[in-house]
Amino acid sequence: MKRALVSVSDKTNLVPFVKGLVENGFEIVSTGGTKKVLDDAGINTISIEDVTHFPEILDGRVKTLNPYVHGGLLARRELPEHMKTLEKLNITPIDLVCVNLYPFKETIEKPDVKLADAIENIDIGGPSMVRSAAKNYRDVTIVVDQNDYDHVLGEFKENGTTTLETRSKLATKAFRHTAAYDALISQYLTKENGLEDPEKLTLTWDLKETMRYGENSHQKAWLYQDALPKSFSILSAKQLHGKKLSYNNIKDADEALRCIREFDEPAVVAMKHMNPCGIGRGETLEQAWDRAYAADTVSIFGGVIALNRKVDLATAQKMHKIFLEIIIAPGFDDDAYEILAKKKNIRLLSLDFSKKDEPTKHEVVSVMGGMLMQEQDTIKEDYHDWKCVTDVQPTEEQLKTLMFAWKAVKHAKSNAIVLANDERTLGVGEGQPNRIDSLKIAVKHAGDDIDERTVMASDAFFPFGDCVEYAGKHGIKAVVQPGGSIRDQESIDMANKYGIAMVTTGVRHFRH
């Protein structure tokens, strides 16, 4: 008779699976709560103590760490000396292991989790059995995923055993399973100990979707989600309508969310190729939309729109008039959704914006042969902390507008320049090899909308006085920039020449 060892934390679909094993000639060895569930279902089981000849001890911390278990798992059936050893020691081979692990992830996701609770949910015996079975996959079937129950039963029913190919794939999955489990433990304890630069970095993600293609149609792509999902993330959004998001859609939508979380007042962000082409704010969402649209009526075509208020009918009617790829908002009024959903392919997504200020400390990007990790640029700034470096002092209204422009320029690719008034961005210049070209692009976009209210934000300092001079010649009245250049005085002198109020923040917002 074949022998299976079954010990699971998540008992979903367990009973029909084990019944199937029994029907295919297995005797069942089980532990603790798993055994009780199987016994209650009328399935005869062998207690683990009857196998190990040793009781569970230390509140269940030790029950399967025993040669009668691991000998039965690791013995190579094709080696006569291994089988003679089992016979001599009266160890029964174990042919199948069905194990899933203590709920460590579910435990640490609880908002009030204590360290002691997390520690008690670190499984020791489970991963040991999984690894032993997976190592000896030529003889042992290891099952860690409920999605494999039916396939495994099907092979036993058809062939009396599983194929070597199946056992190899299941073993590979098992090692991924334990590796991800250990990665979460490592991440949690590293954070608990306040370590920011551990000598080894172990991260884990779960496959959410195999994508049609990546940035271009010839590139394969996969979407993975953090094993501990973040609430304010495009991956946590609920898609209400439209076709699946593409690789580029997700990147644009992520950038739109990063930008929209800067604003508390009704605001609309239009994102295009990971750069804001228009940001508007107002007393109502409709007013904010009007202003975002007016910021760049050309580039917004095919854009990704993020709104920080529930979409109402008036706003929806205006958005419906142009082609948009994605609309992300906290929700949609029924009549607003109805009109937007008339377009078959537009993606409508809802997301809980109450979580926008949740800590999301680190982000990683890949480079060839490695990766970079950094803290996210989520610093909270107050314009009262800025320093005025010019003869002309900015007014309170100018400072508020400068803060709006400063929040916007954070999300444009360097070298970035934003021209804005108190209602919206007027012109955005980004991604140029030099700052003066970005400024020229921003001024061109703003055109005749530049007036007494117009301010300029630069994501990094001015290396020369040319940008401030160009701004002064085009009517800019106030400037915010980090400062810190060895040539700061050239820009200060130029600002004084044109009567510009200029403040420095001491903080740079490069976005590469």
Catalytic positions, written as ranges: 135, 273
CA distance 340 to 242: 10
What is the rounded end-to-end Cα distance, in angstroms, of the chain? 63
Nearest in space to 93 (alpha carbons), one of 116, 112, 120, 74:
74
124: tokens are 């020791």
- The 3 state secondary structure assigned to 133-145 is HHHCCCCCEEECC
Burial 155-165 (b: 16+ CB within 10 A, else e): bbeeeebbeee
For 430, phi then psi, to 5°, come to -150, 160
Give burial (CB, 10 Å; 0-12/13-18/19+) of 56: middle
How many Cβ atoms sit within 10 Å of the Cβ of residue 204?
A: 18
DSSP per-residue letters across 12-52: TTHHHHHHHHHHTTEEEEE-HHHHHHHHHTT---EEHHHHH
DSSP per-residue letters across 215-278: SSTTS--EEEEESS--SSSGGGPEEEESSPPPHHHHHHHHHHHHHHTT--SSEEEEEETTEEEE
| Strands 303-307 and 2-8, sheet pairing | unpaired
What's the length of the chain?
A: 512
CA atoms within 13 A on the CB side of 255: 24
Cβ atoms of residues 256 and 328 within 8 Å: yes
112: tokens are 């009030």
- Report helix, strand or coil for 123: coil
Nearest in space to 35 (alpha carbons), one of 11, 7, 70, 2:
7
Segment holding 287, helix H or strand E? helix 285-295
For 385, phi then psi, to 5°, come to -90, -5
Q: How far is CA 233 from CA 289, 350, 351, in A?
A: 22, 11, 8
CA distance 104 to 118: 6
If you count DSSP H runs as helices and E runs as strands, how many of each does the chain have, helices first?
18, 21
